[in-house]
Structure 1
Amino acid sequence: MRGIFKVGKKSHDVLLTHTRLTWTPIVPESPTGEESVPQAGEVLLQDVFAVKVKRRRMAGQQSGGAVLGLALFHSRRRGRRLEEDTLHLHNASAEHTHSWYNTLKELLTGFSSRPRYVKVFINPSSHKKEAVHIYRDHVAPLFKMADVRTDITATPQLSLSLLSADGTISVVPLFLLAAIKHTQPLTDRKGHALSVMKECKLDEYDGVVCVGGDGSVAELCHALVLRAQLDANSPENPVRAALPLGIIPAGSTDVVSCSVHGVRDPVTAALHVVLGHLQQVDMCSFSSSSQLVHFGFSAMFGFGGRSLARAEKKRWMSSSRRREYAVVKTLARLRPEDCQLSFLPAKSSERSLFGQQEQGKDKELDTESEESWMTNQGLYLSISVMSIPCLSPHAPQGLAPNTSLDNGSASLIAVGNASRSEFIKHLKKYSSSSGQFSFPFVETHSVSAVRIRPRSLIGWSEEESEDEGDSKNTPIIQSERAALPWNIDGELVEIANEVLIRWDWLCFRSKTQITSDSMDLFEKRCYVK
């Protein structure tokens, strides 16, 4: 399709194909006969998320008006960020403009991965209670422009906060207010997302969107996979979730969002959703005594678990002060864990789509010969298992920079017993570009399964004495059957027995695969589930 439009103040020859729109300045012939090569511009249709007819309206006029042309709303990449941009095509012919508008709408409708109706979960208690404002100011306008309908699960406080100070609804898009009127108070406590997902008619939606921090994301991912298992009547094996998940960062660190999108930016995340970008992501299952405990992306045992447990006891503090207190207190009472660490090294042939593994995979894992499992017995200050790089403002290269989003394995980082000063040096290296794994007491492995078995069932106590012994040779051993603190995606989970960790696959709304030193762009046909 070809036509004449003004771009800026100059007339351009505009060409529309199935994949892109290009515009070339119309340059009159030079009197001297010299030929000049006009500079053309283009935008890929895969980056266009909305097209609107521009009109001139009088003040107070709600509809109609003289046609001015078209406005194409598209994304523009700046590094790892996506930004909204607009291309204005001016033409006063209503017939010409509407012909182009209808053709463009038809082409954009052909992108089948783009959602039309999504279920939105907002955690209004997220970091500094910013989730509501982030959704209202950055996400909702993009969804409205892209004609994405929403069904919002929110608390009563959310509905009130979206109203203006004088009680009017002028600051709230009408479609957003209408959606909120039909919601129930379901996200005001832990576990509500799971209860909602159990009752949702998922076939009505094209995707799920989470506006919150890592805790909200982890809870919703856990709920999506459990719902898939329930629908498939498969309680033993993880099943691919029925819907993709979009993550809008609104937490204090947003590790999952940073790892998936490569940047902590709600506009970038929202554009990934409306453009239908899809990214496959590894996820771990955590089980104990043959019972599923949780699905998640990262787990920390030892220092990470104990510092979080201490922080949870000081909920009355501000989040930053609570974090600092917990880290300093745990470092002051640093003790190793005496446990047996076993793992299965990852194999390159283990890549397979989530939900499409061979039926005997779990049985094969359980019956692996002991020679296949690498086993170490000893004292560990920290053991971490991560299926994603875990990028954050505090660790710009990631806690596990050697892993990627969908390499079919997880990264095991085991920190052996060392002096407090050496351990602190190791922790400080995470804020730099490299060197955190260069210490002799740190080992890393790419694994497909990890088993952590404490030598004796140990627990933790806030009343531990700082003078109980030196961390070099004194593990914490307490009453039997006491639960051990684990940090799973920033949530405290206490487990009393050995823990088995395996990898599985999910998908997220993103198009960017992030590693520690590269950024590759690609597209996969799968949804966040």
Structure 2
Amino acid sequence: NGEKILHSFNLSDVIGAEICEEDKFHVLNVYNYPKDGGTGKRVAAHVFLEVEEGSITKANDCLKFIMSSASVDDSSTVPPKYLVIVNPMSGKQQAMKICRTTVKPMFDQAKISYEVFTTQHGGHAKDWASWEDWPVRNENAGNDTTAPERNLRQYDGIICIGGDGLLAEILQGVNSRSDSEIVFEEIKFGIIGGGTSNGLAMSVLHANKEKYGVVESTFLICKGEVSKVDLSSYETASSRYTSFLTFSWGIIADVDLESEVIRCVGILRNDIWAVLRIINLRTYHGRFSYLPPSDDSLCDPADMPKLHDPVPENWITIEDKFILFWACQVSHAASNTFSSPNSSLDDGIFRVLVVTGSCSRFELIKMFLEIETGGHIEHEACEVYDCVAYRLEPLQTGSYNDLDGEEIESGVVQGHVLPSVLQFFA
């Protein structure tokens, strides 16, 4: 009727735009994901504008303005090439559905070129990430025809859809390569929570003031902005590991690993098993030595003591009976676990939470009830130690070492921070 309609949107909510030809006219499509005013979750609220005849030049100018102002990089004629690695068995086995119904449409809207690699077994992603002589198959590759078509370094980004264990696998594979430092310099990483705990996905969203969800994680990747994230290096008697999340020993490790038998109930498994463990409470005798952060405290592997040598004089040592030992690098160990409220993605620090055997069951229950909000660190029984390196020596048998949600070799373990190593979509 000749009436003009004003469409408004925030350019920071836009992941892409394009002009499409439909029948005898053109349409400017703006792919917009604003935050819902009530929930704070991002929702699709796309804008479709019919281009008047003879206005295609103005429409193209408008398109360029939207793309540049929305911080969407359209300067390259070649779109970024990402590899999306999906673990279909993660969590409640929803990763493939997440890829198909959320990630694929949003990547298409953002003009991201991608391939999908579905893991077939445990360790599959680690094996592929470790291969350097692609496309010539090495002896570890065998006749694997399910692996991606390219070497890891031929991608601009690696996107994981699954749990924290999937990214952990990939990092272990990268760490075994002779060119691992170059890989971390060249390739961006991202994660979309499709597992049970999804601690890193939650930590990244929290740092970016986003609500937890797969749309929000995909949105950050589509925007293309990158931040540095700390990693850490761990050593046991016979193995080395790369970590990004948490190390636990004591009740947290017991709950995480032993509750695998009720994995079918999802993230509630942790709550159920925590109750059982508090009723049948265990303490573990151990020695905790750590290097506090300072201007001259270094994390270079060359400066670290050998695993079975005495720790240097500038380290502090505590020997006690422990109920809980939890070394955190990020804010959340799981989507509902605000384990370390003061941690950030690139602060270069472990925050080690310790509860000793003097803590009562009642006090422990009160602490666990506040883990979701981060209130547990305010309890007197919960001590927090900041450090850039530490060593934990169990002085009795029968305990688990849990790194990023996976069981590793038991016994003495030593870790140090690798500051700002990983390029992460955030």
TM-score (structure 1 length as normaliser): 0.66
Q: 1:430 aligns with which of 362, 371, 380?
A: 371
Provide the rounded CA distance (Å) in 1 between the counterparts of 2:116 and 2:236: 35
The residue correspondences of 1:103-114 to structure 2 (distance < 5 A) are 103=64, 107=68, 109-110=73-74
Q: Measure how far apart 1:82 and its partner are.
A: 4.1
AA partner of residue 16 (structure 2): A
| Two-structure CA RMSD over aligned residues (Å) | 3.3
Kept in 1: contact 2:123–2:169 (CA 8 A): yes
AA partner of residue 490 (structure 1): G
Per the alignment, residue 181 of structure 1 pairs with: none
Provide the rounded CA distance (Å) in 2 between the counterparts of 1:425 and 1:335: 17
Query: Any idea what SS the aligned residue of 1:431 has?
Result: coil
Are 2:417 and 1:503 aligned? yes
Residue identity (%): 22
Are 2:168 and 1:218 aligned? yes
The residue correspondences of 1:22-421 to structure 2 (distance < 5 A) are 43-44=10-11, 48-56=14-22, 65-77=23-35, 81-94=41-54, 95-96=56-57, 99-100=60-61, 103=64, 107=68, 109-110=73-74, 116-154=80-118, 187-199=119-131, 200-227=150-177, 230-231=178-179, 240=184, 242-262=186-206, 263-289=211-237, 291-312=239-260, 314=261, 318-319=265-266, 322-323=269-270, 326-347=273-294, 361-366=300-305, 370-390=312-332, 392-395=334-337, 398-417=338-357, 418-421=359-362
How many residues end up aligned between the 2 structures? Answer: 392
Q: Measure how far apart 1:99 and its partner are.
A: 4.2
AA partner of residue 366 (structure 1): P
Q: Measure how far apart 1:447 and its partner are.
A: 1.0
Q: Measure how far apart 1:98 and its partner are.
A: 6.1
Query: Any idea what SS the aligned residue of 1:240 has?
Result: helix
Kept in 2: contact 1:338–1:378 (CA 8 A): yes
The residue correspondences of 1:7-18 to structure 2 (distance < 5 A) are 9-10=3-4
Q: How far does the alpha carbon of each residue in 1:257-293 deviate from its partner, in whole angstroms, 9 at most, with x for none?
A: 1110123211111111121021222222221137413
Kept in 1: contact 2:161–2:193 (CA 8 A): yes
Provide the rounded CA distance (Å) in 2 between the counterparts of 1:441 and 1:66: 71
AA partner of residue 4 (structure 2): K
Query: Any idea what SS the aligned residue of 2:302 has?
Result: helix
Per the alignment, residue 179 of structure 1 pairs with: none
Kept in 2: contact 1:299–1:384 (CA 8 A): yes
Q: How far does the alpha carbon of each residue in 1:469-515 deviate from its partner, in whole angstroms, 9 at most, with x for none?
A: xxxxxxxxxxxxxxx4122222222323x11111113435443xxxx
Give ranges in structure 2 of 5+ residues lacking alignment.
132-149
Give ranges in structure 1 of 5+ residues lacking alignment.
1-5, 13-22, 24-40, 57-64, 155-186, 351-357, 460-483, 512-529
Kept in 1: contact 2:25–2:50 (CA 8 A): no
Kept in 1: contact 2:228–2:423 (CA 8 A): yes
Provide the rounded CA distance (Å) in 2 between the counterparts of 1:333 and 1:494: 24
Work out which of the two has the higher radius of gyration on C-alpha atoms and give 1 or 2.
1
Provide the rounded CA distance (Å) in 2 between the counterparts of 1:115 and 1:287: 39
Q: Measure how far apart 1:363 and its partner are.
A: 2.5
Query: Any idea what SS the aligned residue of 2:168 has?
Result: helix
TM-score (structure 2 length as normaliser): 0.80
- In structure 2, relative to structure 1, the CA distance for the partners of 1:88 and 1:383 (3 Å cut) is same
Query: Any idea what SS the aligned residue of 2:229 has?
Result: strand
Query: Any idea what SS the aligned residue of 2:341 has?
Result: coil
Q: Measure how far apart 1:189 and its partner are.
A: 1.9
Per the alignment, residue 492 of structure 1 pairs with: 407
- In structure 2, relative to structure 1, the CA distance for the partners of 1:294 and 1:50 (3 Å cut) is closer
Q: 1:447 aligns with which of 379, 383, 387?
A: 387
Query: Any idea what SS the aligned residue of 1:334 has?
Result: coil
Provide the rounded CA distance (Å) in 2 between the counterparts of 1:271 and 1:386: 26
Per the alignment, residue 180 of structure 1 pairs with: none
Per the alignment, residue 476 of structure 1 pairs with: none
Q: How far does the alpha carbon of each residue in 1:180-235 deviate from its partner, in whole angstroms, 9 at most, with x for none?
A: xxxxxxx13221111111235133211011111222232233334444xx215x8x
Query: Any idea what SS the aligned residue of 1:143 has?
Result: helix
Provide the rounded CA distance (Å) in 1 between the counterparts of 2:422 and 2:281: 38
Kept in 2: contact 1:115–1:274 (CA 8 A): no
Q: Measure how far apart 1:148 and its partner are.
A: 1.4
288-297 or 134-143: which moved more?
A: 288-297
- In structure 2, relative to structure 1, the CA distance for the partners of 1:102 and 1:267 (3 Å cut) is closer
